[in-house]
């Protein structure tokens, strides 16, 4: 039985990773305590290791804000539709590039990889979206990035690792290429598809720059744009109160810092919940998808 030696190099790596994790955990813990603290504590500054006075007023103000729920709706629409379409079309392109009989496969692979290093630029992209009539639509958030060259290469390498005998037996039984792709290739590729799907979900959920450029209708703003406006303008955006409410009384209970921290947790909590469900696919999907082929 081979015993693994714990060397100085491994100890140094573990130490560095532990320190990096500690910085992330401490930052999140500070924001959590800040979001649960009243105004007179949150405005003092410094590191909060525990909430000295517990209050839920910040979260109540954030959850009761109509801009937050509007952003949630737009972000969910973009994330679900964008992830499904982008994963499906990227997988279809990867499947074609993984076949040896595809004419000029090397040229088309290089042609796609070339776009990872050189692009048309921001202005041509905006003019194209404008000429297609996609401004102020959900399509402007999804269609321009429908195909990802990097994800296509990763999925293509995984498809090349699948045994060709399965497809040959399906062809003998009379199945077409598209049916083989849907009923056999995709189910056998769950690890890499789950990994890429999580990348796409995180990318769509956190994306804000394309919305800032293509969307001017505030009813279609995604959650990250709402969060950006709250952080830049302080509490003015989030204090969406009724006419009878007094803004001065609200400011005495909640603070701009506490509201920002609460907004960050409200916007990041759903995406953090998605990680445990696909984490088991990570190592297998990435290792095979990046090394095979």
- 123-142 tens-digit pLDDT: 888 999 999 999 999 999 99
Average pLDDT of the chain is 81
Which structure tokens are listed for 94? 């990867």
pLDDT at 172: 84
Alpha-carbon gap, residue 54 to 23, rounded angstroms: 24
pLDDT the model gives residue 89? 94
Name the H helices within 7-65.
8-35, 39-42, 57-63
| The domain over range 58-291 is classified in CATH as 1.10.3720.10 | yes
Listed residue (224, 101, 250, 114) closest to 168, CA to CA: 101
Q: What is the pLDDT of residues 233-258, one digit of tens each?
A: 655 555 554 444 455 545 556 677 78
The full set of domain ranges for the chain reads 58-291
Q: What is the pLDDT of residue 6?
A: 65
Q: What is the pLDDT of residues 70-105, one digit of tens each?
A: 888 999 999 999 999 999 999 999 999 988 888 888
Q: Which two tokens stand for residue 119?
A: 């692009």
What's the chain's length in residues? Answer: 293
Indicate the pTM of the whole model: 0.79
Q: What is the pLDDT of residue 105?
A: 86
Task: Give pLDDT, residue 278.
Answer: 66
* 147-172 pLDDT tens trace: 888 899 889 988 888 888 888 888 88
CB 127 within 8 A of CB 263: no
Q: What mean pLDDT comes out for the span 175-197? A: 86
């Amino acid at each position: 039985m081979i015993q693994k030696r714990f060397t100085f190099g491994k100890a140094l790596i573990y130490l560095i990773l532990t320190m990096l994790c500690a910085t992330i955990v401490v930052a999140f813990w500070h924001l959590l305590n800040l979001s649960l603290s009243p105004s007179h504590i949150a405005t003092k500054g410094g590191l909060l290791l525990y909430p000295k006075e517990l209050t839920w007023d910040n979260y109540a103000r954030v959850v009761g804000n109509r801009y937050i729920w509007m952003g949630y709706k737009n972000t969910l629409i973009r994330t679900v539709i964008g992830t499904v379409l982008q994963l499906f079309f990227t997988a279809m392109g990867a499947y074609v590039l993984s076949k040896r009989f595809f004419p000029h496969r090397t040229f088309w692979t290089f042609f796609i990889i070339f776009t990872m290093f050189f692009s048309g630029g921001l202005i041509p992209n905006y003019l194209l979206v404008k000429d297609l009539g996609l401004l102020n639509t959900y399509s402007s958030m999804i269609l321009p990035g429908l195909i990802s060259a990097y994800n296509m290469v990763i999925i293509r390498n995984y498809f090349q690792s699948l045994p060709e005998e399965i497809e040959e037996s399906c062809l003998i039984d009379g199945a077409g290429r598209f049916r083989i792709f849907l009923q056999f290739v995709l189910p056998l590729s769950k690890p890499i598809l789950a990994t890429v799907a999580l990348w796409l979900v995180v990318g769509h959920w956190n994306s804000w720059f394309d919305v800032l450029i293509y969307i001017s209708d505030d009813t279609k703003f995604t959650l990250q744009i709402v969060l950006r406006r709250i952080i830049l303008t302080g509490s003015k955006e989030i204090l969406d109160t009724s006419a009878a409410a007094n803004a001065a009384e609200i400011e005495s209970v909640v603070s701009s810092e506490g509201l920002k921290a609460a907004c960050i947790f409200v916007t990041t909590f759903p995406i953090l919940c998605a990680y445990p469900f696909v984490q088991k696919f990570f190592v297998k999907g990435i290792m095979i998808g990046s090394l095979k082929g």
